[in-house]
Chain A
Amino acid sequence: MFDRRPSFRHGVHPPAAKEETRDRPIHQFPFAPVLMLPLATLGDHAAKPVVVAGQEVERGELIAEPDDPLSVTMHAPATGCVRRIAPAPTIQGKMQPAIFIEPFTASTQAIVAGTACDLSASQDQVIAAIRGAGAVGLGGAAFPTHAKLQAARDRVVDVILINGAECEPYLTTDYRVMLEHADDVVTGIRYLLRASGASRAVVAIEADKAAAAHRMTAAIAELPSVVAGGNPPAAIDVERLPVKYPQGAEKILIAAVLGRQVPSRGLPIDVGTLCFNVASAAEIGRCLSTGTGLVDRVLTVGGPAVERPGNYRVPLGTPLRFLLETVGLTDEAAMVFLGGPMMGQAVSSLEIPIGKGTTGVIAVTPAQTAAIDRQRRHPCIRCGYCVDACPMFLNPAQLGLLAQQQRFQSMASDHHLMDCFECGCCSYVCPSHIPLVQQFRVAKAALRK
């Protein structure tokens, strides 16, 4: 009760539901008959293909180059043949141009290696190498890592946060990555320290992942005392945080670990820090030290409707249907969402591909969906639960009333709607079952027009 460990105020405690997959080691996933790789990793920022239909590519070979600051380098996830470059379905529901690769049956897991990036390389060289590896935020946002570092290039970063909070229920990928690839994570952190110019890194891990924290501490202890060649020498610390959602959200994590408040509409760099997910750090460590590109990502496949839940290293572009058929989807499956249950997006079609930002695939049964569907909606009783849950200290009850009256402008100008990062705590606790965060999304969308 009197936990002195750093954390943030408000937030909620959803059931973790991590037992199902937390002890399942990461398995390499087989290649699907066709891989679909949308050219845009983030929004509409499409990369420029450097391959043509009919061309044979090797696993790890460059297939698309960044075309603008927010587009991302792409590598072939499998040795095979480029079938076509054509529109493919995406999670957003619209078709986006993608590279279709048909892996050869003999395709192996070996990845074409390039030139490794030296740990003592210059800041710009490391950023360029990260860009070349196609690294993005693997915690779900899929924001290009090189763009984040480039934006902070001329600003002071004194500490970087490595996000291993993994506060979303069901997901255990970050935990497994820290447990099994702690060395990659540490190598990645050293590259990131170099690329950001920070002298200190803090790995933030929630208390329910004690084994991962131990493993990380051990991996850091093995390092020579002077890491990253910085001056003064950089330090890497492991910070254990109490379990609470949404601790893994960037602004919240910064407040929890560093006690710094990112200003409204601001970025972590405004308080002298940058956040990277542990999985991003691990991939950067692995890719840069071997000169390869990002071709797979680790994700949790779980939920009550999955027959063989676990953590898998899945080639990018694997269609959701192939993924779920391989792990076995029960007849009971009623809803599939990408990411965790608090912020994950439900999919309407299984034809969409796994992307760099997919942290998990969770399939649930009617028993779970009915729990929400059968809820009776009541008027707001002003209990204030949402006010006590909102980690951004907004007033969701008031926002909800305004949303019902469609007073979107007032929501934004008087009640800080744009500070809401849609963690869903308000909807989670509402005893009247008012879809608060859902209404806020509608309001934001209406305001954007």
Chain B
Amino acid sequence: MLKRTLQLRTSPHLHSGTSVEAIMFHVALATLPACAFAVYHFGLAALLVLSVSVITCVLTEHVVCHCRRQPTTVADGAAIVTGLLYGMTLPPSLPLWMVVLGAIVAVGVGKMLFGGLGANPFNPALVGRAFLQTAFPLAMTTWSSTASDRFTSVSRSTFTWPLMRPDYDPSSTDGISGATALGLWKSEGTLLPLPDLFWGTVPGCVGETSAALLLLGGLYLIARGMMSWRIPLAILTTVAVGSLLVDQFESERRFDPLTMWFSGGLMLGAMFMATDMVGSPLTGWGCVLYGVGIGALVLIIRGWGGMPEGVMYAILLGNAVSPLIDRYIHPRLFETRQRSAAR
């Protein structure tokens, strides 16, 4: 009867079937609507930025693994997700050599230098972006407008030679003007129409403009249990409540909660960046605290900081305090819990 030696293993002998690969696959899937919209809205340039960033991130991870004489870890899909998220935070007309450089920093420095998957203290995509923001502030804040020939040609700046000053077309006048919603709000106090902000037909970074599709992707991940719902909820609530409060005292500009939500990188940050599992706290209340902190920072930087947008730095700072939060916030022990509906 028994042909083989019995296998020995300790329980549990079952597994739920989730895996890092599955999580990465679904996160990538959830970003696709926003990415597809980016390609529709910004054209070929967005497609190039996204493809180049994904390819560079994957290659960087592969090469670093090779140099460390380790089996390559690109199969887990994390580099693809980093590549997608990083690409989504870049201006569509960014020279591709900068995209490549930032991607190398994102994965090489932001992730692999710290030990690879699970060991990176900061969101690698944002590390890459922060590097570019510091190194090339001009290129990172130059927004091309949407041209009608966007599917057939790209801005001249895209193919700038490495280390050369990017050459932006001054000529393209049709389509949407080149300043972002937050830039306009900060400099002139004007508000763009909400539907445009919600659907994303405004200038901005590749994947950040369509709040609707980012929200959709986020809800998909929450429904799949692959994202903490507390973090985006805490961020968005803090920003909304904070805006309403500030609006009572601030007379110069209107702090409109919905504009705050749907403009800039807030939706992308709240849904996909802050929720990066590695950089966010483990516990439920830790996540709430982390989200509230990020939300408050976003509002402060947007309102009174030197830049129009502050989501990136808010999240990076959030990542930095996340280990501290985990140190002090633990799940409340079983024995000390009281069930409200005790019977």
Question: Which A residues are within 8 Å of any B CB, using their own CB?
Answer: 4, 6, 9, 12, 14-15, 169, 251, 255, 258-264, 266, 324-325, 328-329, 331, 333-337, 339, 341-350, 364, 368-369, 371-372, 375-376, 378-385, 387-388, 390-395, 397-398, 416, 419, 422, 424, 427-433, 435, 437-438, 441
Contact = CB atoms under 8 A, between A and B. Distances in A.
B229 to A, nearest CB: 11
Interface string B1-36: 111101111111111101111110000000000000
Nearest to B336: A261
Contacts of A424: 11-12
A429 B331 contact: no
Given A258-B343, A424-B12, 13 more contacts: A9-B337, A169-B14, A263-B335, A264-B334, A324-B1, A328-B1, A331-B3, A333-B3, A345-B11, A376-B21, A382-B280, A383-B23, A424-B11
Interface string B253-285: 000000000000000000000000110111110
Contacts of B277: 381-384
B2 A329 contact: yes
B2 A350 contact: yes
Given A259-B343, A393-B331, A427 B2 contact: no
Nearest to A4: B341
A382 B278 contact: yes
A419 B335 CA distance: 10
21 contacts: A259-B343, A261-B334, A261-B336, A331-B3, A335-B8, A336-B6, A372-B14, A381-B117, A384-B228, A384-B281, A390-B331, A393-B334, A394-B333, A397-B282, A416-B333, A419-B335, A422-B11, A427-B15, A435-B10, A437-B11, A437-B12
B12 A378 contact: no
A298 to B, nearest CB: 22
Interface string B184-216: 000000000000000000000000000000000
B330 A391 contact: no
Interface string B301-331: 0000000000000000000000000100011
A419 B4 CA distance: 38
B4 A334 contact: yes
B7 A334 contact: yes
B278 A341 contact: no
Given A331-B3, A342-B14, A395 B118 contact: no
B17 to A, nearest CB: 8
Contact of B8 (A260, A348, A431): A348
Given A337-B11, A346-B6, A428-B15, A387 B282 contact: yes
B69 interface: no
B118 A381 contact: yes
A344 B11 CA distance: 6
B339 A333 contact: no
B9 to A, nearest CB: 5
Contacts of B118: 378-382, 432
Contacts of A369: 7, 9, 13
Contacts of B1: 324-325, 328-329, 331, 333
Q: Which of A169, A324, A384, A428 has the most CB of B within 10 A?
A: A384
B6 A348 contact: yes
B242 interface: no
Contact of A372 (B2, B15, B280): B15
A342 B11 contact: yes
B275 to A, nearest CB: 10
A431 B9 CA distance: 19
B76 interface: yes
A201 B171 CA distance: 84
Nearest to A348: B8
A387 B117 contact: no
A295 B337 CA distance: 41
Contact of A371 (B2, B10, B15, B332): B15
B338 A6 contact: no
Contacts of B336: 261
B242 to A, nearest CB: 26
A12 B15 CA distance: 11
B334 to A, nearest CB: 5
B9 A372 contact: yes
Nearest to B279: A382
Contacts of A427: 12, 15
Given A261-B337, A346-B9, A384 B117 contact: no
B244 interface: no
A27 to B, nearest CB: 20
Contacts of A263: 335
Contacts of B287: 384
Contacts of B293: none
A429 B18 contact: yes
Contact of A334 (B6, B21, B339): B6
B223 interface: no
Contacts of A398: 282, 326
A329 B3 CA distance: 10
A346 B8 contact: yes
Given A334-B6, A345-B11, A378 B280 contact: no
B163 interface: no
A255 B14 contact: no
Contacts of B116: 379
A335 B7 contact: yes
Contacts of B341: 4, 6, 259
Nearest to A377: B20
Nearest to B228: A384
B7 A433 contact: no
A1 to B, nearest CB: 13
Given A381-B278, A395-B282, A262 B335 contact: yes
B12 A255 contact: no
Contacts of B21: 376
Contact of A431 (B2, B19, B334): B19
Contacts of A343: 11-12
A12 B17 CA distance: 12
A429 B228 contact: no
B282 A259 contact: no
